[in-house]
Chains A and B, each alone.
Chain A
Amino acid sequence: MESQAVAAIRAEGLKKTYPGGVKALDGLSFAVAPGTVYALLGPNGAGKSTAVKVLTTLTQADAGEAVVAGLDVRRRGAEVRRMIGCVAQKSGVDANATGRENLRLQGRFYGMRGVELERRIDELLARFRLAEFADKISRTFSGGMQRKLDIAMGLIHRPAVLFLDEPTTGLDPEARSSLWNEISWLAGESGITILLTTHYLEEADKLAGRVGIVDRGRLVAEGTPEGLKSELQGDAVQVEFGEPQKEAAVRAALERVAGIGEIVVESQAVHARAQHGASAAPAILSALDQAGLRAMAVRIARPSLDDVYLHYTGRSFQEADAQLPMAGGKR
């Protein structure tokens, strides 16, 4: 891992047991390279929020080590807090204040003042399309607007590392995709490092460069979304022919291609599993071509992160979520 030395976030063997014996973290380790987006993916009660709380100094781990922006979280908490922004799972908007007042108070805690602060507030209000509502009491904001205000508050002091704990949970699809655009923009333009936790496989897939799957307080799998998917048995490859072909000929042609297995020949099509579908496709086509078999269409079905989750935890995502219906409610 080339990112180890200069990681923006590094967690090593984090453990935390809450009073009452709930093991929220059980040896969690991962690292996030600067300027990248990393998603912690896991069901209710997996320990995602606890991990965020430890990394943002809100709570302390019982064991293990965490470094954020080059600073030890336990020993240099005050410095860490100046370097990070955090949007907690629960919105922290003050409903009795206006959007602008929320941002102003937040900025003041970081020592920002006067024109500099007001300019930054206007910039963020415009950035998150909240300018129109800036001076309205935020009680009247929609869920999506409150979430944007949360993120704007987390960014007021231009942090180097941003934590987003389930930023889109509870939002309608439209608000979610709008927030996804904002997060993608942040990640792309500003060079900030983002740690994001989510329940949504789709969200991790869309936003994150790397994904860590958390289950019962530890990391069970990690990689790029693509890498995780290709670590599965492989992709489903399906080739269709324009006319019926002889099974023996098709089989003989495909067996010469490396990394191909589970070949099932039908009269006008063949199914197989490829280690890596995208790179296997041209080889399959040229092998078929050499054998004089003309393909009409090739389809490669990638495994979803859902399959990955199933593979590593032995449970499907929905199942795992359903097992702990109360976990998220406890505080």
Chain B
Amino acid sequence: MKLIRDSLYMTQRHLMALWRQPFWIVFMLVQPVIWLALYGQLFRRVVELPGFHTTSYVSFLMPGVVVTNALFAGGWQGMGIIADLERGIIDRFLLTPVSRPAIIAGRILSLCVGGGVQSLILIGLGFVMGARYGSPWIGLPLLVAASMLMMAAFGALSNAMALMVRKEESVIGASNMLLLPMTFLSPIYMAKALMPEWMQKAAMANPVTWAVESGREALEAAPDWGRVIVRLMTLGAFTVLSLWVATRAFRAYQRSV
């Protein structure tokens, strides 16, 4: 199908550009590695409080860092489409018979591939730092899948916003304002039971929570599969909605040319 083929060609284009700047992949990982190492040390003893189902804070933190990294990787993706808009590349694509959704789909797919590799690196680092789980062989793939859904969802929303505002500064501003609070309004660093009541409520409505909780649950020795599935499905639905928003934004862009 043309949509799939064109999406793969687009994915290849983005991955090729990424491949040419390997330094950038490393650069992108600096921040999550710092979280893992620094917060891992700083909060080492909070697991002594009730509410954490583990005695190792790194084990608790690692899925959170993977999801946070996915959130940021997705949230900043709109910058790329602004560069392409400014260079006239999007308009050139629109002049060809290329499948329209492939222009967005290629960006999301390449993000999931590149970001997926980052997730694997972070998981590896987590293990080096001592993270251990009851059922890693089922849990880790699901954690990576959840991180990819996060990237797809926030990548789509970021692209949608970029297509609407078309200014790098606005995307930077909005991302800075939204992404960081989202990580604190979720059980990334702190067990949910230990959060203030209102924060727990906010966290329940936060996709970051859905992703990190499904990942952590799936890593337990005896996962509560109901919890995992409900969270993954909610995240999936949110991703589909985000993708729909992105295609709407793209159509709006097309009308404004």
Residues of chain A whose beta carbon lies under 8 Å from any beta carbon of chain B: 19, 53, 56-59, 78, 81-82, 84, 86, 88, 90-97, 101, 105-106, 108-111, 137, 153
Contacts and interface: CB of A to CB of B under 8 A. Distances in A.
A215 B256 CA distance: 23
Contacts of B13: 94, 97, 101, 105
Given A56-B95, A58-B95, A94 B87 contact: yes
Given A96-B20, A108-B9, A137-B20, A81 B88 contact: no
B231 to A, nearest CB: 37
Contacts of A84: 95
B97 A81 contact: yes
Instruction: Determine chain B's interface SS by DSSP, over half rule.
Output: helix
29 contacts: A53-B257, A58-B91, A58-B94, A58-B95, A59-B257, A81-B96, A82-B97, A84-B95, A86-B92, A86-B95, A88-B88, A88-B91, A88-B95, A90-B91, A92-B87, A92-B92, A93-B87, A94-B89, A95-B87, A96-B20, A97-B13, A97-B17, A105-B9, A105-B13, A106-B92, A106-B96, A108-B6, A109-B9, A109-B98
B6 A90 contact: no
Interface of B: 5-6, 9, 13, 16-17, 20, 87-89, 91-98, 256-257
B21 to A, nearest CB: 8
A114 B217 CA distance: 47
A138 B165 CA distance: 28
A92 B88 contact: yes
Contacts of A110: 96-97
Contacts of A111: 97
Majority-rule SS of A interface residues? loop
Contacts of B96: 81, 106, 109-110
B103 to A, nearest CB: 10
A109 B257 contact: no
A78 B96 CA distance: 9
Given A59-B257, A108-B9, A110-B97, A90 B88 contact: yes
A17 to B, nearest CB: 13
Contacts of A101: 13, 16
**Closest 4 A/B residue pairs (Cβ):** A92-B92, A90-B88, A109-B96, A109-B98
B80 to A, nearest CB: 10
Nearest to A106: B96
B159 to A, nearest CB: 17
A81 B16 contact: no
A81 B2 CA distance: 15
A13 B205 CA distance: 54
Contacts of A153: 92
A95 B91 CA distance: 15
A97 B84 CA distance: 13
Contacts of A93: 87, 89
Contacts of A57: 95
A81 B257 CA distance: 16
B105 to A, nearest CB: 14
B17 A109 contact: no
Nearest to A60: B255
Contacts of B95: 56-58, 81, 84, 86, 88
Contacts of B97: 78, 81-82, 109-111
B20 A92 contact: no
Nearest to B20: A96
